[in-house]
Amino acid sequence: MTTPPWRSLLEKVLSHEPRARFAQLATLRADGRPANRTVTFRAFASADRLLFTTDTRSTKVEPLARHPCGELCWYFAQARVQFRLAGIVSLAAAEARGELARARLRIWREGSDAFRLSFVGPAPGSLHDGEPAAPQTNGGEPPPHFALLLLEPDEVDVLELGSTPHRRVLFQRRDDQWFSARLNP
């Protein structure tokens, strides 16, 4: 697949705001209620897939297995640009193979000590029962619950608030091709 037109817009904004790696991912809980959480962008997996990291013990994983759709909202304050990326969200955990296994290991090894330590403590959302012993980690193999979330968007809505008038473009994928339409903001 060729590189979608929205990716160059996202890469341009990221190059000017490299620390703006946090975005909000909305999914559906098992009871149908929405869930929203902050995720950290790590890399592009291919021309049109984005990689984020997660802990398979977190509450976001089970609902994604039932309903693997999500929408990411990513606002860049300096550029005043919002991206909303909607599509399929999948998981690449310890059993991942090929390119995803290599990406999982690379992201783990390139992460800071603080990043790696966040995955070796108690399960996210478990009751806090005092300070546990200081977890240990090295840059070697990630724990089995360290995983990648892959977002494969089929719709990307870009709203540029830094221009007057504001500019909005909707990109949609149909039959492995991307189409765009200018919308009123």
Q: What is the pLDDT of residues 30-63, one digit of tens each?
A: 889 999 999 999 999 988 999 999 999 998 888 8
DSSP per residue, the chain: -PPPHHHHHHHHHHHH-TT--EEEEEEE-TTS-EEEEEEEEEEESSSS-EEEEEETTSTTHHHHHH--EEEEEEEETTTTEEEEEEEEEEEE-TT--HHHHHHHHHHHHHS-HHHHHTTTSSPTTSPP-SPPPPP---SSSPPTTEEEEEEEEEEEEEEE-SSSS-EEEEEEEETTEEEEEEE--
pLDDT tens, residue by residue, 111-154: 988 888 888 877 787 777 776 656 666 668 899 999 999 999 99
pTM for the model: 0.89
Q: Give domain status of residue 22, yes or no.
A: yes
Q: Give domain status of residue 29, yes or no.
A: yes
Q: Give domain status of residue 97, yes or no.
A: yes
Residue 106's CATH number: 2.30.110.10
Number of domains in the chain: 1
Domain residues for the domain of 63 are: 10-73+88-122+136-153
Q: Give domain status of residue 4, yes or no.
A: no
